[in-house]
Amino acid sequence: MTVSVWQADDSQPIREVDLLVIGGGIVGCTAAYFAQQAGREVLITEMRDLALGASGRNAGFMITGPDTYYHHAIEKYGHAVTREVWAISEQTHRYWRGFAGRNQVPIRECGSLLLAESAHEARDLELAARALNADRIEVEYLTRDPLQRGFHGAIRQPWDGAVHPVKLTEAVFTESGAALVTNNEVYRIEQTKPGVVMVYSRLFRFQARQVMICTNAYAALLEPYFLGKVIPTRAQVLATAPLKQSVLDTCGYSDYGYMYYRETFDGRLLLGGARNQFKALENDTHDDRVTDPVQRALEAYLKQRFPDVDAPVERRWAGIMGFSVDGLPLVGTLPDKPDVGFAVGFTGHGLALGAATAERAVDRLLKGTHAGAVDASRLG
């Protein structure tokens, strides 16, 4: 964001901070947690409020794995990176379960089904299952639709689950022990000398030893380094009124992840996706209003696959995800600001990859440790 001389004349009070995290989503809170564990004093600054970005608007799926089916990920990223991303995902889920367990966060150990919308997708799922099994990841490939809703086959991942994303973010924040300043957008970051970073925001000029950017979809609005590397991408969801009878006891994920559905903890059917049908509208936008074309597509899908649901649609919402240019999160420090780290570009998989990536981002900033598969140095 840019700011005029009328809006900010640099008269805001200076506030000294040890480590400043920008962004109060699940990733910012988790980065704050790991930094605090490493003995740092952390303050999070957030332009709206905790979990008001994608972290409070997602479907709450904890699905293990990368952004694409496993064998496709091997083709795209190579075998070693794909295995490492799987491990990051497993580690992330261990962390979420820990936070959830200690803080009474609703979590359902319901597993997930990756479902085939077509015979072609079924073939792909079978290949994915084979590649997973070859790596000793014991998924089950089902040739018949376990839901009996017209799918062509499925992979069952019994270890996956569904969580309440806002309560999870709040739990991580509480455990982080970090201070929080809300309603405080950051608009400029300057590294003045080693160990001194000036961060200009609405309420304060922060003087921080180190900074961690966790603004995901909004990263390029803050730092030009992220232009073309993190692309804001809208995702939309609807939720019915509470159902009289449950229709789904798992997380369903189909059309290569472009459609997803689960029941909420209060018994609504939540259904999201369809953005692949309207890419020109849904990509490269920070506008989090819902749109008619996507909502109509979601309703049509609801009728097609869940004709037994007669509860009306009661809520519709959208959120902005940060898609990285190659589909993997980006961890590193800014080339011209060595004390400014970042963990962004979660590509719609923050609950799959967020915690262990945030941990690596903190290690990268504090100790200079290479972040492996998620290290942004891969982009050159």
Helices marked H in 103-206: 119-134, 165-176
Residue numbers 91-150 binding ligand FAD by CB under 6 A: none
233 near ligand FAD, judged by CB under 6 A: no
- Tell me whether residue 121 or residue 282 sits nearer to ligand FAD (CB atom): 282
CA distances from 368 to 48, 147, 202 (A): 31, 48, 31
> What are the phi and psi torsion angles at 67 (to 5°)?
-85, 0
349 near ligand FAD, judged by CB under 6 A: yes
Spatial distance between the Cα atoms of 340 and 216, rounded to a whole number of angstroms: 15
> What are the phi and psi torsion angles at 160 (to 5°)?
-75, 170
- Tell me whether residue 126 or residue 326 sits nearer to ligand FAD (CB atom): 326
223 near ligand FAD, judged by CB under 6 A: no
Q: Interface with ligand FAD by CB under 6 A: which range of 2-10, 35-43, 210-218, 297-305? A: 210-218
Q: Interface with ligand FAD by CB under 6 A: which range of 59-67, 129-137, 241-249, 363-371? A: 59-67
Query: Which 3 state secondary structure label does DSSP give 217?
Result: helix
- Tell me whether residue 20 or residue 126 sits nearer to ligand FAD (CB atom): 20
- Tell me whether residue 127 or residue 317 sits nearer to ligand FAD (CB atom): 317
Q: Interface with ligand FAD by CB under 6 A: which range of 19-27, 70-78, 106-114, 149-157? A: 19-27
The partner residues of 199 in beta bridges, in order of sequence, read: 189, 206
> What are the phi and psi torsion angles at 191 (to 5°)?
-95, 115
> Nearest Cα to 66, choosing from 259, 322, 329?
329
Residue 276 CB neighbour total at 10 angstroms: 14
> What are the phi and psi torsion angles at 73 (to 5°)?
-65, -40
- Gyration radius from the chain CA atoms: 21
185 near ligand FAD, judged by CB under 6 A: yes
Q: How far is the CB of 119 from ligand FAD (least distance, A)?
A: 26
Query: Which 3 state secondary structure label does DSSP give 16?
Result: strand
* CA-CA-CA-CA torsion sign (291, 68, 341, 177): positive
178 near ligand FAD, judged by CB under 6 A: no
The partner residues of 107 in beta bridges, in order of sequence, read: 163
CB within 8 Å of 61: residues ≥ 6 apart: 112, 160, 162, 251, 253, 260, 262, 351, 352
Q: How far is the CB of 242 from ligand FAD (least distance, A)?
A: 20
DSSP 226: G
Q: How far is the CB of 322 from ligand FAD (least distance, A)?
A: 7
Residue of the chain from 237, 247, 259, 340 that contacts ligand FAD (CB under 6 A): 237
Q: How far is the CB of 244 from ligand FAD (least distance, A)?
A: 25
58 near ligand FAD, judged by CB under 6 A: yes
For 125, the token pair is 């799922």
Q: Interface with ligand FAD by CB under 6 A: which range of 35-43, 53-61, 108-116, 334-342? A: 53-61
**Tokens 């400043």 label which residue?**
20
Residue of the chain from 77, 218, 225, 342 that contacts ligand FAD (CB under 6 A): 218
Q: How far is the CB of 50 from ligand FAD (least distance, A)?
A: 7
Q: How many residues bind ligand FAD (CB under 6 A)?
A: 40
For 274, the token pair is 């369809």
Q: Interface with ligand FAD by CB under 6 A: which range of 151-159, 241-249, 277-285, 341-349? A: 341-349
- Tell me whether residue 247 or residue 274 sits nearer to ligand FAD (CB atom): 274
Spatial distance between the Cα atoms of 114 and 125, rounded to a whole number of angstroms: 8
324 near ligand FAD, judged by CB under 6 A: no
Whether residue 67 contacts residue 55, with contact meaning beta carbons closer than 8 Å, is answered with no
- Angle between helical axes of 79-102 and 165-176 (0-180°, round to 10): 80
Q: How far is the CB of 58 from ligand FAD (least distance, A)?
A: 3
Residue of the chain from 66, 153, 252, 319 that contacts ligand FAD (CB under 6 A): 319
Interface map 267-296 toward ligand FAD (x if CB under 6 A): -----x------------------------
Q: Binding residues for ligand FAD, per CB under 6 A?
A: 22-28, 45-48, 52-55, 57-61, 185-186, 214-218, 222, 235, 237, 272, 319, 321, 346, 348-352, 354
